A = this chain, B = another copy of it.
Amino acid sequence: MPKSDALEIAAGLHTAAIRLLRAVRVADDETGVSAPKLSALSVLTFGGPTSLSALARAEQVTAPTMSKLVAGLEAEGLAVKRADRADKRSVRVEVTARGRALMEAGRKRRLALLQARVASLSASERALLGQAAALMLRLAEKQ
């Protein structure tokens, strides 16, 4: 009999998400880029160019912290800062081709780890996980 108590579901989901991410995290070491930078680069890659402060908000860090992270990314040739034409206070941060390639490769390695495990499940189990992922995304975006 499957549990349907909201608290138990929450606890189970919480633990499962933590363990799952911990298991695939190892793949990121190979990029040679730190986790915070990688995370910021991911936002740039999949969300497109943004201002520094928007990036800081997205990553839940302060503007000075993001300023340094972006400086690091720029020094490594993974992102560039451009002047915003409309607002001269603002900087437009963009991922470079090199940054995009690094992200792509990293994401591939990470997902390969997970894919190998998912592939060992039955088709119906995979379908269930697909639906669950969509639900989890909805939960994450509530409010």
Contact = CB atoms under 8 A, between A and B. Distances in A.
Given A19-B140, A24-B14, A128 B132 contact: yes
Contacts of A133: 9, 12-13, 15-16
A8 B119 CA distance: 11
A34 interface: no
Secondary structure of the A contact surface, majority rule: helix
Contacts of A130: 2-4, 8-9, 12
A137 interface: yes
A10 B13 CA distance: 16
Contacts of A7: 111, 115
Contacts of A8: 130
Contacts of A2: 127, 130-131
Interface string A118-142: 1111010111111111111101111
Contacts of A20: 13, 17, 136-137, 139-140
Contact of A137 (B15, B126, B131): B15
A114 B114 CA distance: 24
